[in-house]
Structure 1
Amino acid sequence: MATVKSARKVDLQDSGSDLSEQIKAATQETHVRAETTQLMSNFQKGQITRTQYKVLLCSLYEIYTALEEEMDRNSSHPAVAPIYFPQELDRTEALESDLEFFLGPQWRSKIIFPAATHRYAQRLREIGKEKPELLVAHAYTRYLGDLSGGQVLGKLAQKALGLEGTDGLSFFSFPGVNSANRFKQLYRSRMNSIELTEEQRSDVLQEAVDAFNFNIQVFDDLQKMLSVTLESAEKPKESSRRALFPSASSVQITVGLCVGLVTMGIGLYSF
């Protein structure tokens, strides 16, 4: 994992006493690093294909399945209960709907995601079993990022993919949330009410930094994939490999691109 400034070194006098503000201060550096990548610029320009979007959905599904299963399992935990809003925030069913739209009824057999996504999901399950209070960091960065950027990203994806309606874009829709701004205020208030020891609070801040680093690792991997892929980009492709992903090298570049886009939900828009 990339070396970053430790969240434990954050000056709490500068960031305030609220947990949400402390997370914002602790992750400022990694947040900026995550949102200033070329991939995000491309997304803002609407440069995303259906193949890329399909793999993005696969990665999101793996991450949210792990996050929401652990949130459900720890719903009565004193650190999780205040921010447990499954009806308003859960993304798993929305992602299942989107995957079925793009991949068909047998979508589960077509799921593909890279090692970086698997590592992120593994971490979520690990802390869900051992330190549930750390789920606060991941829930905050994921859900509030999705609420902040969902509407804009949804419209960009709709235009880029040539979709006339909302089918395939359920991930960006939060029908249980009437006002994103008001709900985010409620969420921050609930999160700030969580009672944590000094050590637990410090661990949550570090976990928030780590959450961004899981995504930054993907960008590093992407650059390596691109350098290898570009060398063989002009080699003949086997037509039989074009059902969902054109070729093995194309799978690599697509996986990298789409997992990079996962970070946009938590990086492009301020919380």
Structure 2
Amino acid sequence: MTDLAQQLREGTQVSHTLSENTAFMKCFLKGVVELEPFRKLTADLYFLYSTLETEMARHRDHPVVGPMVFADLLRTQKLEGDLAYYYGDRWQHEITATPAGMRYVNRILEVSASNPALLVAHAYVRYMGDLSGGQGLRHIVRSALNLPPDQGTGLHEFDQLPTVEAKRAFKLQYREVLNALPIDQTLMQQLVDEANLAFALNRDVFHELEPDVRAAVGDHVFDLITRQDRPGSTEQHPHHHGMVALAVTE
């Protein structure tokens, strides 16, 4: 057994805080969600998850990757439903990845080819974020865009984990499997480094979308919302229990 789960959590706290303090996420967490940048983000996430899930399935027999493939977590089909809502039935002909989104996808393809174990770091950042802070983000989107009950937020809806308790139990199981992976200290550090890179690649996607948000809300409102940094929700701040975290919060 290792303490990989704890190392990933503690080793990415600074990256997590930086992601929460991008202008895009500051606006998002204030309930400022504009349709055009949000659907562009959804398209980027589709390319990202479909690539990640394809590559993890490709390495299902890998001793490190295989144990981290969970059918209950797969997001590609959910994102296809989201894109059909935002772009229509011909969504596959309407979407393209942003340059930052393509860099993120290309990094996943690169590690799949050269060091598949590092896919675990990307899966950790994405799925644990979806199961934790992603649930709060789902409520923000539904309210801001006034979405119908069954449309637009499939990314953060886990049919097999419908309750808070089910998600909490699954995250515990996920951490236990992480800690049981057959890795050494060198690979553990590589996984932490790769998780930090995943956060950086994700921030780049946010940064590319920020001009769209600024154009939608205006310079004054944008600057008011984004001028002040917020404490990181995965760090120890006793007076900030209610924050929405983007990754593992338990």
For Structure 1 versus Structure 2, the TM-score category normalised by the shorter chain is 0.7 to 0.9
Runs of 4+ in 1 over 6 A off after TM superposition: none
RMSD of the alignment, in Å?
Answer: 2.3
Question: What is the Cα deviation at residue 268 of structure 1?
Answer: 6.3
Q: Tell me the secondary structure at the aligned position of residue 149 of structure 2.
A: coil
Check conservation: 2:132, 2:249, Cα contact below 8 A.
Answer: yes
* Structure 1 residues 249-260: aligned runs within 5 Å: none
Structure 1 residue 73 displacement after superposition:
0.5
Q: Which runs of 5+ in 1 are unaligned?
A: 1-15, 234-264
* Equivalent residue for 1:174, pick from 158, 163, 180: 158
Q: Name the counterpart of 1:270.
A: 249
The answer to whether the 8 Å contact 2:126/2:247 transfers is no
Q: Which residue of 2 is the match for residue 190 of structure 1?
A: 177
TM-score, L = length of structure 1: 0.74
Residue 34 (structure 1) aligns with:
19
| 2:47 pairs with 1:62 | yes
Instruction: Give the 3-state SS of the residue equivalent to 1:267 in structure 2.
Output: coil
How many residue pairs get aligned? The number is 219
Distance 1:145 1:110 in 2: 27
**Counterpart code for 1:214:** L
Indicate conservation of the 8 Å contact 1:71/1:80, yes or no.
Answer: yes
Matches within 5 A, 1:59-208: 59-86=44-71, 88-178=72-162, 179-208=166-195
Asked if the contact 1:70–1:128 (Cα under 8 Å) also holds between the matched residues in 2, the reply is yes
Contact 1:142 1:266 in 2 (8 A): no
Q: Is the 8 A contact 1:144 1:266 kept in 2?
A: no
Give the deviation of 1:190 after TM superposition.
Answer: 0.4
Distance 1:221 1:56, change over 3 A: closer
Residue 82 of structure 1: CA displacement? 1.6
5+ residue gaps, structure 2, are 219-243
| CA–CA distance in structure 2, aligned partners of residues 45 and 154 of structure 1 | 13
**How far apart, CA to CA, are the structure 2 residues paired with 1:89 and 1:54?**
21
Max radius of gyration: which structure? 1
After TM superposition, the structure 1 stretch with the greater mean CA deviation from structure 2, 21-30 or 138-147, is: 21-30
Paired with 1:40 and 1:207, the residues of 2 have a C-alpha distance of: 22
Contact 2:121 2:191 (C-alpha < 8 Å) held by counterparts: yes
State how far apart, in whole Å, the 1-side matches of 2:118 and 2:190 are. Answer: 7
| Helix, strand or coil at the partner of 2:132 | helix
Q: Tell whether the 8 Å contact from 2:16 to 2:246 is kept in structure 1 after alignment.
A: yes
- Fraction of identical pairs, as percent: 35
User: 1:160 Cα deviation (Å)?
Assistant: 0.9
The residue that corresponds to 2:197 in the other structure is 210
Q: What is the distance in 1 between the residues matched to 2:121 and 2:37? A: 28
